[in-house]
């Protein structure tokens, strides 16, 4: 489905889609953590992003995912990151000092782009991923820069987070190779 058919916000999605049929929401709070790992486009929307976010969160960080559950046509459930306003997500990440959102990019490249307003964390994640052998690029402008104050990654208590945009080629590689998957997760976790 083309971009103009995506929902403007969560209320528009809620009016047209059925929770636990067309999409699901998982919000898991960890009381002592000030870190949230978020996948606003999980399931069939951007495959493997929710699984990666959950693995990065582990048992010691807050975790949120909205997953597309449709047999096909999940792209309609994609709410642009700077318009993502699902209340359970905002409640979970509001008190968090560090928010990392995990997204998928199209394309066969086995690389990722890292954006967001938290320059220090963004650079740590970038360096950790490069040290682990991943092709990573810091992007601070354009569609994947994650610089809008309203971007879900920037909605924590500091107003600055990190956005990971992972190409489909790299996600496919991680899906097929558990060692690569674990290396990616461990690298991001080490930067937190």
Per-residue pLDDT tens for 85-95? 999 999 999 99
Calpha distance 37→46 (Å, rounded)? 15
Region 66-90: mean pLDDT is: 96
* pLDDT given at position 6: 79
Pairing label, strands 162-167, 111-115? antiparallel
Largest CA distance in the chain: 45
Average pLDDT rounded to a whole number, residues 122-134: 98
Averaged over 121-137, what is the pLDDT?
Answer: 98
Of the listed ranges 3-7, 39-43, 156-160, 165-169, the least confidently predicted one is: 3-7
User: What ranges in 74-177 are assigned the alpha helix state H?
Assistant: 87-93, 119-131, 168-176
pLDDT at 1: 33
Share of the chain above pLDDT 90, in %: 96
In this prediction, residue 5 carries a pLDDT of 61
Q: Say if residue 146's pLDDT is above 60.
A: yes
- Measured CA to CA, the distance from residue 56 to residue 166 in angstroms comes to 14
Q: What percent of the chain has pLDDT over 70?
A: 97
Poorest-confidence range of 4-13, 37-46, 130-139?
Answer: 4-13
Among 155, 40, 172, 59, which residue's Cα sits nearest to residue 106? Answer: 172
User: What is residue 133's DSSP assignment?
Assistant: T
Stated pTM of the model: 0.96
d(CA 129, CA 36): 19
Q: Hey, what are 4's tokens? A: 């103009």
Mean pLDDT in the chain? 96
The H-assigned helical ranges of the chain are 10-16, 49-57, 87-93, 119-131, 168-176, 178-191
The whole-angstrom separation of Cα 119 and Cα 42 is: 25
- Pairing state of beta strands 62-68 and 35-43? parallel
């Amino acid at each position: 489905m083309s971009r103009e058919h995506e929902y403007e916000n969560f209320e528009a999605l809620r009016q047209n889609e059925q929770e636990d049929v067309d999409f699901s929401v998982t919000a898991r709070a960890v009381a002592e953590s000030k870190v949230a790992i978020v996948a606003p486009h999980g399931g069939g929307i951007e495959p493997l992003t929710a699984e990666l976010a959950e693995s990065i969160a582990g048992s010691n960080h807050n975790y949120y995912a909205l997953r597309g559950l449709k047999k096909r046509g999940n792209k309609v459930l994609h709410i642009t990151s700077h318009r993502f306003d699902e209340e359970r997500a905002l409640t979970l990440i509001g008190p968090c000092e560090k928010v990392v959102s995990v997204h998928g990019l199209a394309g066969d490249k086995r690389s990722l782009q890292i954006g967001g307003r938290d320059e220090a964390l963004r650079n740590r994640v970038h360096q950790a991923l490069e040290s682990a052998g991943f092709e990573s690029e810091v992007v601070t402008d354009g569609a994947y820069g994650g610089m809008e104050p309203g971007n879900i990654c920037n909605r924590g208590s500091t107003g600055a987070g990190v956005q990971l945009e992972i190409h489909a080629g790299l996600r496919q590689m991680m899906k097929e190779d558990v060692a690569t998957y674990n290396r990616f997760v461990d690298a991001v976790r080490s930067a937190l």
